[in-house]
Amino acid sequence: MWRVMVVGLACSHPDPEARPTMRSVVQMLIGEADVPVVPKSRPTMSFSTSHLLLSLQDTLSDCNTLALNSSRSSSWSVPEHNVMIRGDDDHMV
């Protein structure tokens, strides 16, 4: 179980270039290759959080625009359907 956990940690490294190849993952899992050494500290983030914040702000702005445009539409049209309901005596109402 320890081997699977360590290989899983290596596969989830934040830097895609630092992740093992599938070939080496299989070799590690079946014991043909050594598992990587787990570092004492977590790896640093490999992406900018300011970029994520700007992307989130753009998404929220788009959602607000869509909501505003849909609330300004003059009316919603709902198609009418004929509904047939059976009464107690099996006659259509």
Whether 14 maps to a domain, the answer reads yes
- Tell me whether residue 71 is in a domain: no
Q: Is residue 57 part of a domain?
A: no
Distance CA 68, CA 75 (A): 14
- Asked if the structure places residue 84 within a domain, the reply is no
Contact of 43 with 13, CB cutoff 8 Å: yes
| Position 63 in a domain | no
Does residue 85 lie within any of the structural domains? no
Q: Using alpha carbons only, what angle is made at residue 51 by residues 50 and 53, rounded to the nearest 5 degrees?
A: 65
Euclidean distance between CA atoms 13 and 57, whole angstroms: 27
Please identify every stretch of the chain with a pLDDT value under 50, giving residue numbers as ranges.
93
Tally the residues of the chain.
93
pTM of the predicted structure, to 2 decimals = 0.44
Domain assignment present for 92: no
Residue 21 lies in domain: 1-39
Query: Residue 58 falls within a domain, yes or no?
Result: no
